Amino acid sequence: MSKRNVLKIIAFLVGLYFFLEYILPEKVGGEFDSYEVGSPVCVEKDGKKLQFYVGNYYKGRGIIGRMVKSSGKWKKDQKPCLQRSLFLKFDQYGLIEPDVAITPEGLTLLYLGQNEKEPVLCYAVSSDDGQTFKKKGPVVISTNDVFKTFENAPNGQIPDRIKSFAADYKGGSWDVYLFTMTYRVWHAAGPDLKHLTLDAQPLVSTALLEKSPNAFDVYKEGDAPVLVYVMDREIVEFRQGGGNWTPKSWKAPAGNGTNDTIYAGGRMDTSDGTLYLGTKKMQKARPIDSPYETTLCAVNLRDKGDGEPLAPEMTVYKKVGASPRPTYLSYGTEWAGKFLTVVGSFAIFIAMINLMLFHGKKIYQSALNYNAPVGEEKLPGGGAPFRNFLKNAGYSAVFLIFLAVMIVCALKGQTDEAKGTIWKTSFDFLFNAIQAPMGSAVFSMITFYMISAAYRSFKVRSLEAGFLMAAAIVCMVGQMPIGELLASLVPESWKLLQLPWLSSKLLSVLNAAAYRAVLIGTLIGSVAISLRIWLGLDNSVYSSVD
């Protein structure tokens, strides 16, 4: 098999790998929570404690996992019970903040699905105690008995964007509490999650705390709702009395600053007054690992008085952030990125060697000429060897000297210790006084070249050229202050003659249309070439000779 065919096969296999990684739906298994865990919610069903939590295999990629408590120990399911859907829009980017309720169908899990727009409150139902769930779509809330999902409002008619929520099912009826971006809390109730009616007024109409909580939950004491706000280092419960919301809070034990434990997710288990919490703590880890140590833990609030320090009493599951365990095809992308970085970095040496060879050769030949006897010079010119040397290899010598100086100053002058030293001063001088002005000067040459080119070539020899000239003048002058000045002389009713307006219309309508057309063609062309290279149909990438 020829070398070229081997290369083609390798190229095809590599391309196939990335193509499949791109188009195949992601199915996460195994260590789906290797990066972080959080947002636990606990429920007791048939004497068994079930805990659902959010596991991340990558920052921002949440999946719901399940744990079961048996014989006093929590046992984690190896596979997740609910994942994001790639081809449905509501939870394309992950699932967060689950809440669970026991319903006649089994278990109903509500969650916030993340997507390209706003989080959407969705739900799924399980009949096997939460081992697997079947998605039912978004929860539908209405203010006027029209229970409908809208394109821009998948949850129906909510006055504000949802930040968090809490749900409860009792006596055949749902109570859903929505914590919105404006810190208000709304209540919706209904017989099922597709027919919830929003109250006319919010339950809480102002911000109870200055900052928005990391987690939010609601439970009932009798018929009265109790709001639970989980903050960074504090947990606050609000109870309504006399039209006001009275807080009762617990603070986290004193920490040591940047390494403090932060409370993240949290849901109350009202059966025993336990608050299941997710915590986060910074740790020094290898750069590619998650820097957090995350924990699922629990604390009993009933025994605690107002203001008592609150330390988690039971750690359910501790996860020291590890390298994200990608899905079955994602290893390659990460590896390819690193490979390209390394290869690209070494390629700089090839370029440097070429530069050295070229300029070194010039200097060497000039030096030979310098020492050559009269009449035997290898390069043109004679008589004044040093002048000839400067003429033939002066620039090369300058280049190599400045290259060496810049490299040394950059290496020595960019460390913290170098502040105030000659290296730092030299590097700053070389950059600010030489490189930057030279870059600006060379860029300015373009303007001069443009003037001579335009003066020479921009001639109106046909009707189309005339239109082009007119459009060019309108665009040039319209974007400048002089255009504004001229526009101020034109009345508003003659807006069509105002150059800035005309210029913006030309650019945003006509120019945009032409640019889009060319861009479509260009990009399809590049797709075709990429396809040919991938399938090995194009030999030109391997050699110029077939």
Partner 1 sequence: MAPENKKRSLWDRIQFCDPRILYALFAVVVIGFEMIQIKMPVPNPIWVGKLYDRIESLPPDKAVLIDCDYGAGNRGECEGQFKAVIQHLFARNIKFMVVTWTTNVEGQKLGRQVLDEVAKKMNKVDGEDYVMFQAIVNAGGVTLQSLAKDIHGFVVKDINGRDLNEIPMMKNFRSIADVSLIYRVAYSWGGIPWIGFVQSVYGTPLAAGSAGIESSTAYPYLDSGQLCGLLAGAAGAAAYEKRVMEAGIVNETGIGTKTVSVQSFATLFVVVSILISNFAMFMSKWQSKRGRA
Partner 2 sequence: MDHATLPIIIFILLFSGFIITMIMLTKRGKEVFLRPINGLKVIDDAIGRAAEEDRPIMFNLGFDDLSVNLFCSLAVMGYVVRKAAKLSMPVYVPLAQPLAYAMAEEFWKDGYAAMGKEGMFAVEDCLRYMSSNQSALGAGIAGWIKREHVGANFMFGTYGFESMMLAEAGQQAGAFQIACTPSFYQVPFFMVSCDYTVFGEEFYAAGAYFNRDPVLTGSLVGQDYSKLVLLILIVLGSLLLTIFQKTDYLRLLLQW
Alpha-carbon distance of 52 to 260, in angstroms, equals: 25
Contact residues: partner 2, CB under 8 A: 22-23, 26, 86-87, 150-151, 343-344, 347-351, 354-355, 357-358, 361, 438-439, 442-443, 445-446, 449-450, 452-454, 456-458, 515, 518-522, 524-533, 535, 537-538, 540-541, 543-546
Q: Give least dist CB 402 to partner 2, A.
A: 12
Q: Using an 8 Å Cβ cutoff, are 111 and 41 in contact?
A: no
Interface pattern 98-127 for partner 1 (x via CB under 8 A): ------------------xx----------
Q: Which of 127, 244, 341, 354 binds partner 1 (CB under 8 A)?
A: 341
Check if the beta carbon of residue 390 is closer than 8 Å to that of residue 371: no
Phi, psi (degrees; rounded to nearest 5) at 113? -90, 130
CB of 492 to partner 2, least distance (A): 29
Q: Which is nearer to partner 2, 408 or 535 (CB)?
A: 535
Q: Closest Cα to residue 103, out of 68, 70, 129?
A: 129
Give CA–CA dist 189/172, Å, rounded.
Answer: 11
- Which residues ranging from 293 to 322 are in contact with partner 1 (CB under 8 A)? none
Instruction: For residue 495, state whether it binds partner 1 (rule: CB under 8 A).
Output: no
Cα separation values, 546 from 9, 11, 531, 533, Å: 17, 18, 19, 15
DSSP state of 210: S
Amino acid symbol at 515: Y
Binding of residue 384 to partner 1 (CB under 8 A): no
Could you please report the per-residue DSSP string of 114-183?
E-SSS-EEEEEEESSTTSS-EEEEE--EESSS----BTTBTTBS-SS-EEEEEEEEETTEEEEEEEETTS
Q: What are phi and psi of 254, to 5 degrees?
A: -55, 135
Question: Closest CB to partner 1 among 445 and 537?
Answer: 445
Min dist CB 31 to partner 2, Å, is 20
Nearer to partner 2, 87 or 494 (CB): 87
Would you call 191 helix, strand, or coil by DSSP? coil
Q: Which is nearer to partner 2, 253 or 466 (CB)?
A: 466
Rule CB under 8 A: choose which of 201, 315, 435, 540 binds partner 1.
435
Enumerate residues 505-534 that contact partner 1 by CB under 8 A.
507-508, 511-512, 515-516, 519
Cα–Cα distance measured from residue 411 to residue 9, given in angstroms and rounded to the nearest whole number: 43
Residue 122 interacts with which of partner 1, partner 2, none, CB < 5 to 8 Å by class: none
The one of partner 2, partner 1, none whose footprint includes residue 482, by CB under 5 to 8 A per kind, is: partner 1
Please choose, from the candidates 77, 78, 119, 118, the residue with its C-alpha nearest in 3D space to the C-alpha of residue 98: 119
Q: What share of the chain is helix, strand, coil (3-state, %, to 5)?
A: 35, 30, 35
As measured in angstroms, the least distance from the Cβ of 427 to partner 2 is: 16
Site of interaction with partner 1 (CB under 8 A)? 58-60, 93, 116-117, 211-212, 258, 282, 284, 287-291, 333, 336-338, 340-341, 344, 415-416, 431, 435-440, 442-444, 447-448, 450-452, 454-456, 458-460, 469, 473, 476-477, 479-485, 488, 500, 504, 507-508, 511-512, 515-516, 519
